[in-house]
């Protein structure tokens, strides 16, 4: 299973072993910019950034994306990904539905 990393951080070795891969430097920088703190959190600005992230995942041809970042972006990012039939998986150390667990070394769906 291939899982694109849509977080600003590099995947842990455990996440990489579960199938998470890194984007090239150019796309990784676009991800970081899209996830950066917004001084002005309009719905339009949030949607623009999450749509950009979802399009990156779509262009990668994946069905899963590891996400994490500012809470006010994550819900809209989930929506943007799901519209494109891409399942969002949260990068976390805790075991719960829909995450990549570093401790369990597996994808939990």
Domain positions in the chain are: 3-108
pLDDT per residue as tens digits for the range 75-95: 999 999 999 999 999 987 434
What torsion do the CA atoms of 92, 97, 100, 103 make, to the nearest 10 degrees?
70
Question: By percentage, how much of the chain surpasses pLDDT 90?
Answer: 62
pTM listed for this prediction: 0.83
Question: By percentage, how much of the chain surpasses pLDDT 70?
Answer: 83
| HEC string for the chain | CCEEECCCCCCCHHHHHCCEECCCHHHHHHHHHHHCCCCCCCHHHHHHHHHHHHHHHHHHCCCEEEECCCHHHHHHHHHHHHHCCCEEEEEECCCCCCEEECCCCEEEC
Give the residue-averaged pLDDT of 56-72. Answer: 94
Mean pLDDT of the chain: 86
């Amino acid at each position: 299973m291939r899982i694109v990393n849509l977080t600003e951080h590099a995947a842990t070795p455990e996440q990489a072993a579960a199938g998470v891969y890194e984007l090239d430097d150019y796309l990784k920088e676009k991800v970081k910019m899209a996830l950066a703190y917004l001084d002005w959190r309009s719905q339009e600005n949030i949607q623009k950034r999450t749509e950009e992230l979802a399009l990156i995942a779509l262009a990668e041809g994946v069905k899963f994306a590891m996400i994490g970042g500012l809470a006010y972006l994550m819900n809209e990012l989930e929506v943007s990904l799901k519209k494109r039939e891409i399942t969002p998986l949260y990068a976390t150390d805790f075991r719960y539905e829909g995450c990549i667990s570093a401790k369990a070394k597996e994808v939990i769906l």
